[in-house]
Amino acid sequence: RIVGGTDTRQGAWPWQVSLEFNGSHICGGSIISDQWILTAAHCIEHPDLPSGYGVRLGAYQLYVKNPHEITVKVESIYTNSVFDGPGTKGDIALLKLSSPIQFTEYILPICLPAASVTFSSGTECWITGWGETGSGVQLQYPATLQKVMVPFINRDSCEQMYHIDSIISSSVVMIQTDQICAGYQAGQKDGCQGDSGGPLVCKIQGVWYQAGIVSWGEGCASKNRPGVYTFVPTYESWISARSVISFTSFMSSTSSSSSSSSVLKASAILLGVSLLLHDWWNIVLSLR
């Protein structure tokens, strides 16, 4: 779950999903189209066994099903070939669902930022999930989806923080070029075990974008150890090549407000629902 967070409002983060393996929650994820889920590569321990994975969409409480949620089987899995374990580059995976999903007020996709997009340090971003509330501390029944705001931290600043009071040589790069950080130098608020694969989202000119994927961290909410995320814009072409997500799904943060508004309205018409009803789009992933 989330450390230092609070309960979300049902339907407020409609892109959030829970990833399951053999019916048990293992990770978070996000809806990026009617048949594709974005998550972390390290969540996928059995890439050759897609039938073992399921995705709960519209989930709110981990241990209590609600009438607005559905569970869909995974048809195929694509993990980035560069990924080579925790902390390495390429901690990103795409899951193709066995059948297209119908969007509702509680089940909607998140916008993906183009490769050219940058986020300023201090930008207010949010993480959501059902993970631990502290190292080794499980989210209590009924395990309501949690949220917490974490400011964006640029890679260089994060790299410096991770070398404070560290036994690792300062010459060793810890924050990879496809990673960014979010959180506080003092700690207190962060993602934790069980939140992996979930989205880091930021509101730019009235539109929510997924800036990152929960990847790793040293402990949870520890001082000078902010959460580390796979930076989604880095993988625009990788995602597009596999999922055939239309390029218009990616929008530069430099777009004008009127342009953003037009795209939002067009998307709402396309989906047949109002995207203004909800703030968030989360999916839950489970393993084991």
At 244, the pLDDT band (50, 70, 90 cuts) reads low
Higher-confidence position of 272 and 118: 118
Taken in order 144, 47, 114, 187, the sign of the CA dihedral is positive
pLDDT exceeds 90 at position 106: yes
**pLDDT recorded at residue 218:** 83
Q: 46 catalytic, yes or no?
A: no
What Cα–Cα distance (Å) separates residue 268 from each residue in 23, 189, 259, 277?
A: 32, 33, 14, 10
The residue from 18, 30, 33, 196 that is catalytic is: 196
What single-letter DSSP state applies at residue 112?
B
For 11-35, write each residue's pLDDT tens digit: 999 999 999 999 999 999 999 999 9
Phi, psi of 137 (to 5 degrees): -105, 110
**pLDDT recorded at residue 168:** 87
The residue from 18, 30, 33, 91 that is catalytic is: 91
The residue from 25, 30, 33, 42 that is catalytic is: 42
**pLDDT recorded at residue 250:** 41
pLDDT exceeds 80 at position 270: no
**pLDDT recorded at residue 223:** 85
Residues 6+ apart with CB under 8 A from 285: 17, 18, 19, 20, 25, 26, 27, 28, 29, 37, 39, 43, 53, 55, 197
What's the CATH fold of domain 2-285? Thrombin, subunit H (2.40.10)
For residues 90 and 93, what is the distance between their CA atoms, to the nearest angstrom?
A: 8
**pLDDT recorded at residue 49:** 97
Higher-confidence position of 285 and 5: 5
Mean pLDDT in residue range 124-141: 85
